[in-house]
């Protein structure tokens, strides 16, 4: 799947509305912004006065009729030149320091907003996203804010202001010829830079796409390290990654050649403009219409204007790219989860823990129904198990209970409260889960257990470890509870991860417990240990158990048998055996398989 992005095309107009979206993030430090702009004006004023100081200094040094001033005036002007040069640099540094805090805070505010928003998006978005491409979008978007503010506010706008002032000064002091050369040169330079940059934008886009693709490929492969090893596909993965890198290399080469064309054209315009200005100034000096100081002033002004303009192509392209990257970021913020979130919804209040599924119908896609008219209830303190073949919709019930998705029809209620009308945070706070595939953070065992309730005390964490019968395993480790479990918990076995998951859920202390095939991937010994721990912690709690092995749920108060999204039977173990229906067939099949495995063993 390709990364979610909005490529920059040459004919794609710049979305200037982004500035209005950014503005709220920049108004937190209004005084700093005002002071930074004042420093900008002061720095540009000093910059514009520098060529005049050079002119007066040269003219004084060239004036042989002065005797007193030959020492005092030129050196005074040189001192003034030094002070103006220092003021230009200092005001620029102060400006950058003041505004740096503004952009950094804007990046922080926007970054945390996007992070929170991504956690609020529905499960479907995260199942379809590509982690590498998404992380690059976030990184480029937040970095784009800094670049945009720095170069647009402190490069483009001041340069245009300086050009306007210089053209006015040249026109006032030296006539229309010099002003016209500068004006025409600037127009040609800007026009060429914009057109050439738009032309080469497709190559920049190709580089970005190739970069994201190779990055996503590498991350995806490394996250699935074990799968790569299981199938002996190291060379296959390396070849796929190298193919992406080859595309990146080709894109970079095209980008580099197009940059050469842009820089060459810009350099040609600057060379023609400066040569024309110098030739005209030299002619006027030769004619006695201008002094040597005027020649130096015009040379200084010309260089002063074209030096910042020399980066215009780069700045324009980067600003355009930054705007597009920021727009990608705002597009992420504009994505709305399919599961509606009401910030003003009431908290779920659990008094007993009764769960009711009423006529639930659900499908991930319109052409495939997953659940159809599913109705059952779990009374307070009951243990209810849902069984059935793979694809019957068992685990989907858990996703609906956690409200990762909303049912197409019907409703789920807890103690009479429709879960679609209550605060999501309060809903998930009341439910603890031990999933089939426990994913741990790349942190210590202690911190992974603490994740169940981050504000828990050390005593509460240790108690949860004891209740999950995790103490013996931790004691056998050289670093004990400080042992790092590796990315996604790869350093632990399935049973060890399940114990951590149980401890985490115990620490959460929820009134409702969900066990989603928590022992399906474990060996018999580990399964019995986990089942004992589950039975112990689920006492007095309302429990929903999604099970594959029927032997693990014979003590359930009620067993719901499902097939193809429908409920076939309900009852306890003995009742369902007496019915002699679907459950009995599943039971007999699993018992026969178990006996066969025992005989083979």
Query: Where do we find the tokens 């998705």?
Result: 405
> Domain 344-430+544-601 belongs to what architecture?
3-Layer(aba) Sandwich (3.40)
pTM summary value: 0.62
pLDDT digits (tens, 9 = 90+) for 184-213: 998 998 889 888 877 887 887 788 888 888
Other Cβ atoms closer than 10 A to 408: 14
Distance CA 432, CA 143 (A): 38
Q: Which residues pair with 346 in a beta bridge?
A: 422
pLDDT at residue number 280 = 92
Between 379 and 14, the more confident residue is 379
Contact assessment for residue 567 and residue 581, using Cβ atoms and an 8 Å cutoff: no
pLDDT digits (tens, 9 = 90+) for 218-242: 888 888 888 888 888 889 999 999 9
Residue 434 buriedness (CB in 10 A; 0-12 / 13-18 / 19+): buried
DSSP 218-240: HHHHHHTHHHHHHTT-HHHHHHH
Residue ranges, CATH 3.40.50.300, the chain: 344-430+544-601
pLDDT at residue number 524 = 65
pLDDT digits (tens, 9 = 90+) for 562-588: 988 899 999 999 999 998 888 899 888
Structure tokens at 435: 């999933």
Of the listed ranges 107-116, 173-182, 272-281, 411-420, the least confidently predicted one is 107-116
Between 157 and 383, the more confident residue is 383
Contact assessment for residue 542 and residue 380, using Cβ atoms and an 8 Å cutoff: yes
Residue 37 clears pLDDT 60, i.e. is over it: yes
Query: CATH for 17-334, among 1.10.3720.10, 1.10.10.10, 1.20.1560.10, 3.40.50.300?
Result: 1.20.1560.10
Residue ranges, CATH 1.20.1560.10, the chain: 17-334
How far, in Å, are 22, 26, 105, 411, 549 from residue 142 at the CA level? Answer: 11, 13, 11, 41, 49
């Amino acid at each position: 799947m390709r990364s979610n992005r909005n490529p920059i095309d040459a004919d794609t107009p710049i979305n200037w509305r982004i500035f209005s979206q950014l503005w709220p993030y920049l108004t937190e430090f209004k005084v700093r912004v005002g002071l930074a702009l004042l420093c900008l004006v002061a720095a540009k004023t000093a910059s514009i006065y520098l060529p005049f100081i050079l002119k007066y200094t040269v003219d004084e040094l060239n004036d042989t009729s002065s005797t007193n001033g030959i020492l005092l005036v030129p050196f005074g002007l040189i001192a003034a030149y030094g002070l103006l040069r220092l003021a230009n640099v200092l005001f620029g540094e102060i400006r950058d320091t003041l505004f740096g805090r503004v952009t950094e805070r804007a990046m922080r505010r926007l970054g945390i907003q996007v992070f929170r928003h991504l956690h609020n998006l529905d499960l479907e978005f995260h199942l379809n996203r590509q982690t590498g491409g998404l992380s690059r979008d976030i990184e480029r978007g937040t970095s784009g804010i800094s670049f945009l503010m720095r170069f647009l506010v402190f490069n483009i706008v001041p340069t245009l202001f300086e050009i306007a002032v210089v053209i006015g000064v040249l026109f006032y002091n030296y006539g229309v010829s010099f002003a016209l050369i500068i004006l025409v040169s600037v127009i040609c330079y800007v026009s060429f830079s914009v057109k050439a940059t738009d032309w080469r934008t497709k190559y920049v886009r190709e580089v970005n796409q190739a970069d994201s693709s190779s990055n996503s490929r590498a991350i995806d492969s490394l996250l699935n390290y074990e799968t790569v090893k299981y199938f002996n596909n190291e060379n296959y993965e390396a070849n796929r990654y190298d193919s992406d890198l080859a595309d990146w290399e080709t894109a970079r080469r095209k980008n580099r050649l197009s940059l050469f064309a842009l820089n060459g054209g810009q350099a040609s315009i600057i060379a023609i403009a400066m040569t024309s200005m110098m030739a005209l100034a030299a002619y006027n000096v030769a004619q006695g219409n201008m002094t040597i100081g005027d020649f130096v002033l015009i040379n200084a002004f010309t260089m002063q204007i074209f030096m910042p303009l020399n980066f215009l192509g780069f700045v324009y392209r980067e600003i355009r790219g930054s705007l597009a990257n920021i727009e990608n970021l705002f597009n992420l913020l504009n994505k709305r989860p399919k599961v509606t979130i009401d910030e003003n919804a009431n908290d779920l209040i659990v008094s007993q823990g009764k769960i009711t599924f009423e006529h639930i119908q659900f499908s991930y896609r319109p052409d495939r129904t997953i659940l159809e008219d599913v109705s059952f209830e779990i009374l307070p303190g009951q243990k209810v198990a849902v069984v059935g073949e793979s694809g019957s919709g068992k685990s989907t019930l858990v996703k609906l209970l956690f409200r990762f998705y909303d049912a197409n029809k019907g409703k789920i209620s807890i103690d009479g409260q429709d879960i679609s009308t209550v605060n999501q945070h309060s809903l998930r706070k009341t439910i603890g889960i031990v999933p089939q595939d426990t994913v741990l953070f790349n942190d210590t065992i202690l911190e992974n257990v603490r994740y169940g309730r981050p504000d828990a005390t050390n005593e509460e964490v240790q108690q949860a470890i004891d209740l999950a019968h995790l103490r013996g395993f931790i004691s056998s480790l050289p670093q004990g509870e400080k042992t790092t479990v590796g990315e996604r918990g790869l350093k632990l076995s399935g049973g060890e991860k399940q114990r951590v998951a149980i401890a985490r859920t115990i620490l959460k202390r929820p009134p409702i417990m969900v066990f989603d095939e928590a022992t399906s991937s474990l060996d018999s010994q580990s399964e019995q240990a986990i089942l004992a721990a589950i039975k112990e912690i689920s006492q007095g709690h309302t429990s929903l158990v999604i099970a594959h092995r029927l032997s693990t749920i014979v003590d359930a108060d009620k067993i719901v048998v499902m097939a193809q999204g429908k409920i076939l039977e309900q009852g306890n173990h003995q009742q369902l055996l007496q019915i002699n229906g679907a459950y009995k067939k599943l039971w007999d099949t699993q018992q026969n398989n178990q006996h066969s495995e025992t005989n083979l063993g």
